[in-house]
Amino acid sequence: MKERIEAIIQRINCSEADAARIRDAFETADAAHKSQLRSSGEPYIIHPLAVAEILSELGLDPDTIIAGLLHDIIEDTEFSYQQVRQRFGTSVADMVEGVTKLTRMDFSSAEEEEAENIRKMFLAMARDIRVIIIKLTDRLHNMRTLMYRPPHKQRNKALETMQIYAPIAHRLGMNSVKVELEDLSIMYLDPVGYEEIQEYLEKNNQEGRAMLNRIMARMKERLAEHEIEATVSGRVKHTYGIYRKVYMNGRDIDQVYDIYAMRVIVDTIPQCYNVLGIVHELYHPIPGRFKDYIYTPKPNMYQSLHTTVVGRSGQPFEVQIRTKEMHKMAEYGIAAHWKYKHNITKNGDEALFAWVRRFIENQQETDNEEFISDLRVELFADELFVFTPKGDVINLPANATPIDFAYAIHSAVGNRMVGAKVNNKIVPLDSKLTNGDIIEVLTSNSARGPSRDWLTIAKTGEARNKIKQWFKKERREENIQLGRAEFEAELRRNLLARAFENEEFRANILKKLDFQNLEDLYAAMGYGGITVRKVINRIADEHTRQEKQARGLARPMRETKPTSGVIVEGIDNCLVKFARCCTPIPGDHIIGFITKGYGVSVHRSDCPNIAGMLTDPATQDRMIRVSWASAPSELYQTALQVIGRNRIGILADVATAISDMNIQMSSVSARANGGDESIIDLVINLRNAEQLGSVLLRLKRIDGVSDVTRVVR
């Protein structure tokens, strides 16, 4: 293993002093982990050593290499932060502690805990981006050795990697890490689909490689004629890239045009465009398949020219053209522009992780549900490029509106906005922008400010949070009235009004939610700083806890039926059924209604059918408190509605996505809604709300799907 350490030192070409520190870190980690083994039965030191090797391949600095060797030492041994700092310095100790905190995160937890853990991760990233780079390399080696873990842990780890870590690697521009994480994840998440693509690639490997070699030789010859020095290579698209287009976008594998691609690397930007002209002379370009990421870089600073052409055999293939610096950036992202060896300056490199800080700043007062929603947009959404009238490029997520554009310019522009022009035509503020649009924001100094409707129109968290800040500052009295009215209605709906009247109980809730008084709470709910649902859930949890203490029981509610998964207050052995109108599942806040002759009907507390019963004197007394059992094991039906573009294959894509997640589907139907829109209604069987969240995310990523909602009939 010492030979591997010497190879790391040679690879990063560091000073002798840093080389000595790296050797010391390895010996320290080896001694600390001496009695520990990996799941494979190998000595534990194999893992931190592999992490350090990956970090050295990415070109990280000596401190990061040392932190990689020590990244588990605080978590898994008796070493403390102070000991690491004393021996290896504050920078290394802070990174090791940062990675330790991330290691303790549990992404399969409840939504609120999940959001808080992810928020902590982004705060760590904002302080020192190297923390998440170490974590990404840690996850990469764990995924490489996942075959030694039990099947259920393989799937959980792979899903977590696909949902969080691979998108972060993509957002940081670390393509080599992202590609491997995705391929390893899909191998465990959908082994059948993975094998089908592998078999296709193996079957066509000889023919495909021969085609690439012919194209490579021809292009090298033509470039030499034009005296352009270039590196020309061929590549086969990675497995998950093909999987996504075939199984998630509903294409036949023969319609994936970029399975085979050529890459041309030159010295200068003018040469990139010269090569593009030569390629189009040699091969017929496919209309609409040219992208200029040099002039309009991706948010992760990726730059390249992409064009898809047709070869002499009729096989389409992609050509990527970039400079050497662009290629380093494309493969290694932020690691390619590392500046921690020197003082970081406010230049282009800062943009590589400035989005992390900007995202955290915009999420300061966002509740957890919206935080997760905004994060998914930030990490998963396709991007589009639009322009100001002066030609400046603004990057926004797909389906963004003129409101998002205005607030991306400046909060003052958004707050004074009275209209918008897209391509010199006035459009509604909820219009969806498309690539290449030129947007002009119409403003007025006498504008009354944003409308509350804008909160539902805006797609970016940045825009919504700036709108909320305006309402918080300018409309306090209005916020108090709105928040109070909605909150009191929800208290009555959830049978919690009497509990909240208790002064001591109310003071305890305000303290837990970090509000000084009721007016501040009402105002926050009014402008959207906290959701009414979060407050109600906290009140319900506290009320249940106090009841347990008062009664001196292990639980104040008696289980009505062992297999129902629901506990009904004060009633034993009664029939429990789940309302078909709102199809509640574990994780939803629920309420019970005592029916005549059919036991207790369980509804979601936000079910509109319950609202009238709570205010009707004839039914008020038949409402009863219910809660989920600690670990319900059944499957529960819930109804979803998918709205998307009316295209061939969208129903099959939805059904395939559900099947790939091993989820039972009770029924599915589709209908056209006039024009270009189709509606798909389906009923599926789920374990809990967390699983529902994964389903909603997967369905929303299908090509053409614009919205997925739960149905309340």
Q: Within the chain, how many helices (H) and strands (E) appear?
A: 32, 21
d(CA 685, CA 668) in angstroms, rounded, equals 12
Distance set, CA 318 to CA 227, 257, 390, 593 (Å)? 23, 7, 32, 61
Q: Which of 108, 82, 119 is nearest to 97 (CA)?
A: 82
d(CA 257, CA 545) in angstroms, rounded, equals 59
Instruction: Point out which residues pair with 668 in neighbouring strands.
Output: 682
- Cα dihedral sign for 23, 25, 30, 31? positive
Q: Which residue has the tokens 């062992």?
A: 562
27 is catalytic: no
Name residues whose C-beta falls within 8 Å of residue 682's C-beta, 6 or more positions apart in sequence.
Answer: 639, 640, 642, 654, 658, 665, 667, 668, 669
> Which helix or strand (DSSP H or E) is residue 47 part of?
helix 46-57
For the chain, helix, strand, coil in percent to 5 are 55, 15, 30
d(CA 673, CA 353) in angstroms, rounded, equals 43
Token pair recorded at residue 712: 């309340």
Where would I find the H helices in 440-531? 454-457, 461-474, 476-493, 497-501, 503-512, 518-527
Of residues 24, 57, 75, 196, which has the active-site annotation? 75
Phi/psi at 346 (nearest 5 deg)? Answer: -80, 70
Q: What is the separation of C-alpha 627 from the centre of its chain, rounded to a whole number of angstroms?
A: 30
Instruction: Point out which residues pair with 492 in neighbouring strands.
Output: none
Token pair recorded at residue 324: 């050497």
Distance set, CA 401 to CA 350, 379, 396, 643, 686 (Å)? 27, 18, 9, 19, 34
Q: Which of 624, 625, 627, 607 is nearest to 566 (CA)?
A: 627
Name residues whose C-beta falls within 8 Å of residue 214's C-beta, 6 or more positions apart in sequence.
Answer: none
d(CA 436, CA 423) in angstroms, rounded, equals 9
Q: Which residue has the tokens 């040699």?
A: 282
d(CA 507, CA 502) in angstroms, rounded, equals 9
Of residues 18, 76, 486, 703, which has the active-site annotation? 76
Q: Is 252 left (phi over 0), alpha (psi -120 to 50) or beta?
A: beta
Pairing type for strands 626-628 and 566-568 reads antiparallel
**CA triple 181-124-520, angle to 5 deg:** 120
281 is catalytic: no
Q: Which residue has the tokens 């194209």?
A: 215
Q: Which residue has the tokens 């990469």?
A: 140
Q: Which of 630, 631, 632 is nearest to 544 (CA)?
A: 630
d(CA 18, CA 14) in angstroms, rounded, equals 6
> Which helix or strand (DSSP H or E) is residue 666 part of?
strand 664-672
CA atoms within 13 A on the CB side of 550: 8
d(CA 507, CA 518) in angstroms, rounded, equals 9
* Active site members: 75-76
